[in-house]
């Protein structure tokens, strides 16, 4: 697990650096960038529960029933988050546009491996659910300079900072620690985290 945790910390550092570059610009986070972000998240989260349900069905979880139960519950919690991104877009006068190429690549890759190597996808989940964990002050600074942001159109972003009120990042890492995983599972977690970091940072460009 230490290798996975290091990949998560690396993803956090890279994401924070990306946000700091945006914060250093004259305009900060523009409304157009924010709309692209919400559109990306809409397509990234729409249907996400299917991966968790497919992972839960994997034979390697037959004797890891507590972890299987966790994944089913996690998928249920995540299932409707895309609607929050859509609602934020609607508050800004927009509907989700076409799925960005990098999100399409994310789905194409993880759809191709999730049934046979589900821990690749779970490594990706560990990154997604924790990547903003070191960026709270930077995000708040961006908020402060974005006059178009209101409580009504920023619900998705606020929710996915994953603070104490919605600690999904900690939950997935704790569940993985307790799942009594084998070396090949751990190797796939690390590999999946590395791939997810590359793909997610591409989405945020």
State yes or no: pLDDT of 166 exceeds 80: no
Q: 199 and 105 in contact (C-beta within 8 Å)?
A: yes
**Which pLDDT does position 196 carry in this prediction?**
98
Distance between CA atoms of residues 53 and 129, nearest Å: 17
Distance between CA atoms of residues 58 and 24, nearest Å: 45
Mind listing the pLDDT tens digit for each residue in 85-144? 999 999 999 999 999 999 999 999 999 999 999 999 999 999 999 999 888 899 889 988
State yes or no: pLDDT of 162 exceeds 60: no
As a whole-number percent, the residues of the chain with pLDDT over 70 amount to 97
**Which pLDDT does position 197 carry in this prediction?**
98
Q: What is the rounded radius of gyration, in angstroms, for the C-alpha atoms of the chain? A: 17
**Which pLDDT does position 133 carry in this prediction?**
87
**What's this model's pTM, rounded to 2 decimal places?**
0.94
pLDDT category at 164 given cuts 50, 70, 90 is low
* Residue 171: partners with Cβ closer than 8 Å, 6 or more residues away: 70, 74, 129
- Least confident range of 45-49, 71-75, 94-98, 136-140: 136-140
Cα distance between the two ends of the chain = 29
Burial zone of 2 (CB within 10 Å; 0-12 exposed, 13-18 middle, 19+ buried): exposed
**Which pLDDT does position 182 carry in this prediction?**
97
Alpha helices in the chain (DSSP H): 2-23, 31-45, 48-56, 65-78, 81-91, 101-113, 118-128, 136-144, 155-159, 168-177, 183-203
Distance between CA atoms of residues 109 and 115, nearest Å: 12
Distance between CA atoms of residues 53 and 188, nearest Å: 18
Q: Which two tokens stand for residue 130?
A: 């924790």
Distance between CA atoms of residues 132 and 138, nearest Å: 10
Q: Which two tokens stand for residue 47?
A: 């249907």
As a whole-number percent, the residues of the chain with pLDDT over 90 amount to 86
């Amino acid at each position: 697990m230490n290798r996975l945790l290091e990949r998560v910390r690396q993803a956090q550092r890279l994401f924070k650096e990306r946000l700091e570059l945006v914060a250093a610009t004259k305009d900060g986070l523009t409304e157009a960038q924010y709309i692209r972000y919400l559109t990306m998240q809409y397509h990234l989260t729409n249907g996400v529960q299917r991966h968790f349900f497919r992972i839960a069905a994997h034979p390697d979880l037959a004797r890891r029933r507590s972890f299987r139960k966790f994944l089913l519950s996690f998928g249920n919690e995540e299932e409707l988050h895309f609607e929050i991104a859509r609602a934020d877009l609607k508050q800004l006068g927009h509907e989700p546009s076409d799925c960005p190429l990098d999100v399409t690549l994310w789905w194409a890759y993880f759809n191709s491996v999730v049934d046979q190597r589900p821990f690749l996808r779970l490594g990706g989940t560990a990154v997604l659910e924790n990547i903003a964990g070191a960026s709270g002050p930077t995000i708040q600074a961006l908020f402060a300079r974005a006059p178009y942001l209101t409580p009504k159109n920023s619900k998705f972003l606020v929710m996915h900072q994953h603070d104490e009120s919605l600690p999904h990042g900690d939950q997935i890492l704790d569940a993985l620690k307790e799942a009594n995983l084998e070396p090949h599972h751990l190797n796939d977690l690390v590999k999946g985290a590395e791939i997810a970091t590359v793909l997610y940072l591409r989405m945020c460009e």
